[in-house]
């Protein structure tokens, strides 16, 4: 499905090429009609901002959101495994899934990077893609809520993904994820340092957090 590729590109670091391609991305979504009308219309705000924005402003905004804020990290396993050893095995499993499907990734990309995962979904059948996407909806919903707090038009990408997923997020799991990582002001350097230097989150064999939070097993992105 081309929609997954388009959403992958929209979540990638802004470049001059992305700015130039914004109208083409919108046209691709319209041609495929994979998104509900409400979500497609909402995405136009982000597309217009990218098409008409100054590249340096776009890059700065992106960096403040996704690079400096741990709570908005675009690496899926960051939100369920933190820096625990379980994350390493989850990475191996996800990479193996890519390889079995004949999908190659560059050496400088981690398998759980959301734009990469969405690019992979674009190579799969619609049913398989929606099923795999459904295993991430609790993470997507948590990210959407955090972006909503910032009044960011990037929220529309996550709303679109949630609309396409086979499985809806569970409210209790989303709430646990929102509590796990402090959502701090990206301009508050002292608070950011405290978050990045905090004690490693520990997860048990079922990926349940042992540090004051115990999300159900379903909170673990399965992807198998």
Give the C-alpha separation, 95 to 131, whole Å: 18
Q: Which range (139-148, 152-161, 171-180, 189-198) has the least confidence?
A: 189-198
Residue with tokens 């979540």: 11
pLDDT in tens, 165-211: 989 999 999 999 998 877 766 555 454 455 445 534 333 333 322 22
The sign of the dihedral angle between the CA atoms of 168, 66, 36, 149 is positive
pLDDT in tens, 58-90: 999 999 999 988 899 999 998 986 665 677 888
Task: Label residue 34 exposed, middle or buried (CB < 10 Å: 0-12, 13-18, 19+).
Answer: buried
User: How far from chain centre, in Å, is Cα 156?
Assistant: 12
Q: Which range (76-80, 106-110, 111-115) has the least confidence?
A: 106-110
Give the C-alpha separation, 61 to 64, whole Å: 5
pLDDT exceeds cutoff 70 at 126 = yes
The percentage of the chain sitting over the pLDDT mark of 90, rounded to a whole number, equals 68
Q: Which range (21-35, 76-90, 108-122, 126-140) has the least confidence?
A: 76-90
Q: What angle do CA 70, 72, 76 make, to 5 degrees?
A: 90
Closest CA to 178 of 142, 210, 207: 142
Query: For position 14, what pLDDT does the model report?
Result: 97
Query: For position 218, what pLDDT does the model report?
Result: 42
pLDDT exceeds cutoff 50 at 153 = yes
pLDDT exceeds cutoff 50 at 130 = yes
pLDDT exceeds cutoff 90 at 102 = yes
Query: For position 175, what pLDDT does the model report?
Result: 94
């Amino acid at each position: 499905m081309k929609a997954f590729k388009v959403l992958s590109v929209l979540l990638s670091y802004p470049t001059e090429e992305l700015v130039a391609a914004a109208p083409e991305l919108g046209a691709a979504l319209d041609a495929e009609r994979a998104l509900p009308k409400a979500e497609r219309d909402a995405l136009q705000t982000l597309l217009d901002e990218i098409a008409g924005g100054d590249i340096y402003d776009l890059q700065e905004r992106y960096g403040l959101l996704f690079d400096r804020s741990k709570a908005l990290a675009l690496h899926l396993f960051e939100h369920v495994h933190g820096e625990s050893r379980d994350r390493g095995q989850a990475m191996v499993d996800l990479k193996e899934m890519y390889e079995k499907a004949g999908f190659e990734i560059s050496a400088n990309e981690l398998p759980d990077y959301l734009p990469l995962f969405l690019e992979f979904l674009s190579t799969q059948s619609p049913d398989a893609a929606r099923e795999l996407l459904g295993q991430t909806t609790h993470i997507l919903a948590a990210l959407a809520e955090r972006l909503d707090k910032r009044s960011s038009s990037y929220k529309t990408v996550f709303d679109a993904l949630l609309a396409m997923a086979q499985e809806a997020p569970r409210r209790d799991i989303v709430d646990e994820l929102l509590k796990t990582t402090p959502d701090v002001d990206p301009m508050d350097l002292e608070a950011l340092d405290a978050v990045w230097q905090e004690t490693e989150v520990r997860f048990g064999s079922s990926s349940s957090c042992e540090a004051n939070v115990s999300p159900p097993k379903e909170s673990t992105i399965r992807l198998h």
